[in-house]
A and B are shown apart, each in its own frame.
Chain A
């Protein structure tokens, strides 16, 4: 299987690792954006694609990570290397709290209450001016890799790339572990899952927490990349970008998240001149993929390339070979 997923991704990683050698500043910036959105897409996919929780608060988590990382440096004078993981943990904590309403509602109602939560987060960013500096945003301290002889963009790029590898591997392990199977059981039927002894509170909280952590880490990297944090970076439009990455790449697929993020950033950068066109493009991508390719691009790769099969994937687009809902293949469920 020369074009199996592992080989392709290792080759992509090798290309990613040597990009700074020949890329100009803008290309490196875009490359770094791709790594950030891969993290966002993986986190959101664990929550929506695997655990089936249709939450719309990912952009808010992204913002909380960015604000926490920036504000801990600005107000408390913490160095970036402590503020950054703390920002991820803050977002994970807020995400876990969001699981509480998710216990009482699902589907549409969860979607709307998390939308309202995202709106409230924006409100806090805008109006808690003493801490967040309001609508104008604030500059974060310049990141430096002082003792090492590398510039900030290249250093940050390698940090992001390393985190992508680390968190990609971690996510693959989570979704194929007992926890991941519990997520899928919750997605396919909450009552059935509960009757199998799966603790809904625990696994929903875990899914929200993991997804919040990924978004928070991405937010910290984003604040360092831009050296600037402002409310409009984490609004509804940001949310639609995240949703589009997992819909285009493939719900319920960690590999699909990587592909989706790369394509979405490409579209975003190609249309960066006109915000209206970006909105039309992302809206059309969402509608188009939902209508014609549910399951995303990853289903095409799975169909035509050997070595791209994944366990526990969401059904869609390939109904002939996927098992019926709530009845996963025995080989996957058995230990």
Chain B
């Protein structure tokens, strides 16, 4: 029981992080119809930025968090300007290769700037590392902090889409970009905003998770694949679906890792992506017409 509760708790925590990465992927895909292959590298790079500000420059945690998210947003808008806007009307091969290229530039930069110090950097925890008992559940406070942070970010996000003008314009553009253009929405700016928001969410996820995991330049790809698996489970354009998908992937992976073998965890994105894309390409939450795959 203790093992189960521990696995469940860590599954929910990592699942929440996958959900954030998935949200970033979904926001960009919903608005532009493109998958940003550099999403995982945004996560990695901004995680390093947060580490540098917090550990090397000694800033407090909330300030480094905000700055890292800002850097993430700028990276996202820059990616839109370089690797999406100029080639948006060309073929999908170019779009994919351009974001892959951006991802590799970020990975190389991170390796050159931070890689030499120690390949695996750790982020000091923001709460005490001692586990506490909540009823019969064993919980590490840091996990609670990550979970709370994730929920807050998701709520902010939902509020942004429901309540703000920019959020409504993004929804309109996602629904029908031509109609949105006709009613006077500058869809170009919405695309930029979508890339920026997606990257900012990745940054938030990275700085939240950094105290729980180790940072290294190759971490991005694994998170990208898992986030994509979560997004695919949710149907790729559904925000609640991305959250649900993230939790499912996180919990399933944690249980499989605990009861079968820890190496099975790395296989989860492959299984999820293959099974869902081949058998149910519309995702778990979708009841509408089949989507083009």
Contact = CB atoms under 8 A, between A and B. Distances in A.
A52 B91 CA distance: 10
A274 interface: yes
Interface string B85-98: 01100101110111
Nearest to B109: A280
B25 to A, nearest CB: 10
B104 interface: yes
B103 A48 contact: no
A29 B208 CA distance: 46
Interface stretch (A8-16, A107-115, A209-217, A221-229): A107-115
Given A106-B293, A283-B102, A286-B101, A101 B92 contact: no
A282 B90 contact: no
A54 B274 contact: no
B100 A120 contact: no
A303 interface: no
A130 to B, nearest CB: 14
Contacts of A106: 293
Most buried by B among A101, A108, A119: A108
A112 B270 contact: no
A275 interface: yes
Interface in B241-293: 263, 266-267, 269-270, 273-274, 277-278, 281, 293
B216 interface: no
A286 B275 CA distance: 31
A274 to B, nearest CB: 7
Contacts of A82: none
A65 B216 CA distance: 30
Contact of A251 (B37, B93, B109, B274): B93
Interface stretch (A18-26, A173-181, A287-295): A287-295
Interface residues of B, number: 45
Given A105-B277, A236-B221, A112 B35 contact: yes
A101 B94 contact: no
Contact of A240 (B104, B112, B229, B269): B104
A48 B92 CA distance: 12
A107 B281 CA distance: 14
Chain A binding surface SS class: helix
Interface string A99-131: 001001111110111011101100100110000
Contact of A291 (B86, B92, B96, B274): B86
Contact of B112 (A101, A104, A276): A276
Contact of B87 (A240, A282, A291): A291
A101 B274 contact: yes
A112 B101 contact: no
A193 B107 CA distance: 39
Contacts of A119: 221, 225, 266, 269-270
Contact of B82 (A109, A279, A287): A287
Contact of B293 (A105, A274, A277): A105
A243 interface: yes
A278 interface: yes
Given A116-B225, A117-B270, A283 B277 contact: no
Contacts of A115: 225
A277 B113 CA distance: 11
B233 to A, nearest CB: 13
A200 interface: no
Given A105-B293, A119-B269, A284 B34 contact: no
B108 A291 contact: no
A51 B89 CA distance: 21
Given A105-B278, A108-B35, 7 more contacts: A108-B96, A109-B277, A112-B273, A116-B270, A119-B266, A283-B108, A287-B98
Interface of A: 48, 52, 54, 101, 104-109, 111-113, 115-117, 119-120, 123, 126-127, 236, 240, 243, 247, 251, 274-287, 290-291, 294
30 contacts: A101-B274, A108-B34, A109-B293, A111-B37, A112-B273, A113-B273, A115-B225, A116-B229, A116-B269, A116-B270, A116-B274, A120-B267, A120-B270, A123-B266, A123-B267, A123-B270, A251-B93, A275-B111, A276-B107, A276-B115, A280-B104, A280-B109, A280-B112, A281-B108, A282-B104, A286-B100, A287-B82, A290-B87, A290-B94, A290-B98
